Amino acid sequence: MATNWGSLLQNEQQLEELARQAVDRALAEGVLLRTSQEPSSSEVVSYAPFTLFPSLVPSALLEQAYAVQMDFNLLVDAVSQNAAFLEQTLSSTIKQDDFTARLFDIHKQVLKEGIAQTVFLGLNRSDYMFQRSTDGSPALKQIEINTISASFGGLASRTPAVHRHVLSVLSKTKEAGKILSNNPSKGLALGIAKAWELYGSTNALVLLIAQEKERNIFDQRAIENELLARDGQEIAVVYFRDGYMPRQYSLQNWEARLLLERSCAAKCPDIATQLAGTKKVQQELSRPGMLEMLLPGQPEAVARLRATFAGLYSLDMGEEGDQAIAKALAAPSRFVLKPQREGGGNNLYGEEMVQALKQLKDSEERASYILMEKIEPEPFENCLLRPGSPAQVVQCISELGIFGVYVRQEKTLVMNKHVGHLLRTKAIEHADGGVAAGVAVLDNPYPV
Ligand code: ADP
Ligand code: MG
């Protein structure tokens, strides 16, 4: 992708001055993170890393990503309600992956006891990269969908003002006007409020489950601040910003998760929806016929969804898995090996992937992974700003996320919408990792 910031990125002195202005504006707008030295304290905070300029994104791909979001909401909701599909899809994986198995045990137990909750709330974020193609027109390809603790909707609501400011300082008023407004935190809060309303108890609370050491607190506060504080004890909605990684669970936490799952509060997500967000489910959804089975009578939605799927391959024991492994070993740079993990930094690429595949080849353990085609976007230049580092002009690639919200009461879908976007940009030398992992930085799409 060509950038029209080309000459601006060459002028070092101007960049430094612009960076100072941008950082001050980011701080003033509340684009904040707690520091890694003091992750539990708001006494000393800094700005969340971001790009000096917005990155160019083709309007057609932005529109496509927005247009398919309601379909993804429907799909996740359909998967979460299809116990047979979840059981079959995850059967090999749960034998090898303890974390997924524990989640699945809770799912089975509440199914057996009868699901107490009647209101279901989904707040997710579907992530994409722009695969370059030989004819020059990039294609939107999904990286994954996050069904638990999808973050940065709060900070993404604050970054457009920063990039508008940078462009205004450069007297680029017309360009500044092209930065899209974005307010995912408002939309996410409206979803929570709707689920709370349908729960139907005026004194009930919303419980936000957060990590003890949470650098990204201001992202959560942005959503909290959209909700009215109320008195009372009963919990109507449980919103997880925690609980997506094994290390976030002690034995006591597992018991608490089961307790919450048994309650009639609307969980965001409930266990089935968290399982619907696993990489194994993503891979099985790409099998021919699966989307048609889950979304019967909706061929247009199925076509929109399928158009965003990259190559996804099962590594279950058997011929299909053997062939996938052989393909990856023959061309390692074209694939990514993914375990059932969230939070960044878990995937294996290149030589590491080759070593892991050779080791896993003859072991049942390989069923806890999936193989994915590696998306190769066209790199472009931007300047990355991080606390403690000088402004750096580097070759970058971006990842676009769209936030989706849905609310279901029993069998009736009451809300289904998209509520905004997140663009994250990272230097090309990093294969993996998001903003929280210290790799990517916040950005805004500049539609072209
Ligand atoms: P996590 O749940 O840990 O966020 P992801 O599947 O989103 O796992 O992968 C983490 C990061 O790795 C992504 O943000 C992206 O930068 C990179 N990545 C993942 N899958 C691919 C892929 N198929 N092609 C290129 N990069 C990928
Ligand atoms: Mg991710």
pLDDT tens for 161-181 read: 999 999 999 999 999 999 999
**Is the minimum distance from the CB of 187 to ligand 1 under 6 angstroms?**
no
The closest ligand to the CA of 131 turns out to be 1
Confidence of residue 232 (pLDDT cuts 50, 70, 90): low
Q: What local confidence, expressed as pLDDT, does residue 400 receive?
A: 98
Rounded to the nearest integer, the mean pLDDT of the chain is: 94
87-116 pLDDT per residue, tens: 999 999 999 999 999 999 999 999 999 999
Atom 17 of ligand 1 has which residue's CA nearest to it? 432
Residue with the two structure tokens 């024991």: 317
Mean pLDDT of 154-163: 98
Choose the catalytic residue: 29, 95, 262, 343: 343
Task: Locate 106 and state its tokens.
Answer: 């809770």
Residue 329 has pLDDT above 60, yes or no: yes
Distance in angstroms (rounded) separating the CA atoms of residues 351 and 85: 34
Cβ count within 10 A of residue 232: 11
388-406 pLDDT per residue, tens: 998 989 999 999 999 999 9
Q: Using the mean position of ligand 2's atoms as its centre, give its distance from the Cα of residue 169 in Å.
A: 34
Quick check: is 164 catalytic? Answer: no
**Is the minimum distance from the CB of 347 to ligand 1 under 6 angstroms?**
yes
Radius of gyration of the chain (CA): 22
CB proximity list for 209: less than 8 A, separation 6 or greater: 238, 239, 240, 241, 242, 243
Burial 281-308 (b: 16+ CB within 10 A, else e): bbbbbbeeebbeebbeebeebbebbbeb
Query: Which of 143, 333, 371 has most ligand 1 atoms within 8 Å of CB, for mutation?
Result: 143
CB proximity list for 280: less than 8 A, separation 6 or greater: 89, 90, 93, 100, 340, 370
Residue 159 has pLDDT above 90, yes or no: yes
The closest ligand to the CA of 399 turns out to be 1
Q: Using the mean position of ligand 1's atoms as its centre, give its distance from the Cα of residue 397 in Å.
A: 12
Choose the catalytic residue: 241, 279, 280, 408: 279
Quick check: is 146 catalytic? Answer: yes
* 223, 240 contact by CB (below 8 A): no
Q: Using the mean position of ligand 2's atoms as its centre, give its distance from the Cα of residue 203 in Å.
A: 36
Q: Using the mean position of ligand 2's atoms as its centre, give its distance from the Cα of residue 106 in Å.
A: 24
∠ CA 380-384-390 to the nearest 5 degrees?
Answer: 135
What domains appear along the chain, each with residue ranges and CATH number? 52-157+179-310+394-447 (3.40.50.1760), 311-374 (3.30.1490.50)
Q: Omega before 269 cis (within 30°)? A: yes
pTM of the predicted model as reported, rounded to 2 decimal places: 0.93
Residue 66 has pLDDT above 90, yes or no: yes
Residue 84 has pLDDT above 60, yes or no: yes
Distance in angstroms (rounded) separating the CA atoms of residues 228 and 189: 10
Which atom of ligand 1 is nearest the CA belonging to 344? 3
Distance in angstroms (rounded) separating the CA atoms of residues 399 and 371: 19
pLDDT above 90 covers a percentage of the chain that reads 87
Choose the catalytic residue: 25, 34, 125, 241: 125
**Is the minimum distance from the CB of 86 to ligand 1 under 6 angstroms?**
no
**Is the minimum distance from the CB of 399 to ligand 1 under 6 angstroms?**
yes
265-308 pLDDT per residue, tens: 999 999 999 999 999 999 999 999 999 999 999 999 999 999 99
Confidence of residue 131 (pLDDT cuts 50, 70, 90): very high
> Which CA distances in Å does 307 have to 130, 140, 234?
13, 8, 43
Q: What local confidence, expressed as pLDDT, does residue 1 receive?
A: 44
Choose the catalytic residue: 34, 338, 366, 408: 338
